[in-house]
Chains A and B, each alone.
Chain A
């Protein structure tokens, strides 16, 4: 078991460009979560999936953000028309599912929008 992996680890993009991040959860973990962490703050919840179903989205997730988990395994988070305020660490976590409280995080993708 290699843990939660995220790619890329770092992404620098110009304002207005689209970016996509990928998260591979721990094998057999049904739940997958996305969080965003800005400097000096704790992570903030963005959205989560139970298998392929997206069950909740935070109001932080504007229309420019979209997340998918098409086959219930890996997930992608896309940000369209990036803004400087999108610069943050994007963290993915996974858990076995309902009744299993342990949530394991990946190393994150650091996005810098110039």
Chain B
């Protein structure tokens, strides 16, 4: 079955890099995603990576995928207070209609 796990909490200082980690169990993942959720809001798609890639960079965001270990990470460079939010990783499975299976989310707190 599908299972996605994340650590619950991460605290960083403004200007530092943040690294949020995620592990998944299903080897037939097609895409892996990172979403951001601010309090009381819906989910904002940050980035996604195709499962045959190992890295994707988009401005301050770098996604690393280790398919052998089923490990996904999101690095945010120069973290700002506006980055404080809950970050969810998610996977979609081949042939699954692209429905998403989410982790429990990592709360990122950025301190001055």
Chain A interface (Cβ within 8 Å of chain B)?
4, 31, 33, 35, 40-45, 48, 50, 55-56, 91, 93, 95, 98, 101-108
A101 partner residues in chain B, CB cutoff 8 A: 30-31, 33, 48, 50, 92, 98
Contact A103–B42 (Cβ < 8 Å)? no
Contact A95–B41 (Cβ < 8 Å)? no
Contact B43–A43 (Cβ < 8 Å)? yes
Residue B80 at the chain A interface, CB threshold 8 Å: no
In Å, the complex CA distance between A70 and B39 comes to 32
Contact A41–B99 (Cβ < 8 Å)? no
CB < 8 Å: which of B43, B44, B99 contacts A45?
B99
Closest 5 CB pairs of A and B: A42-B102, A105-B43, A105-B42, A107-B42, A45-B99
Within 8 A of A (CB), among B25-68: 30-31, 33, 35, 41-45, 48, 50
Contact A106–B104 (Cβ < 8 Å)? no
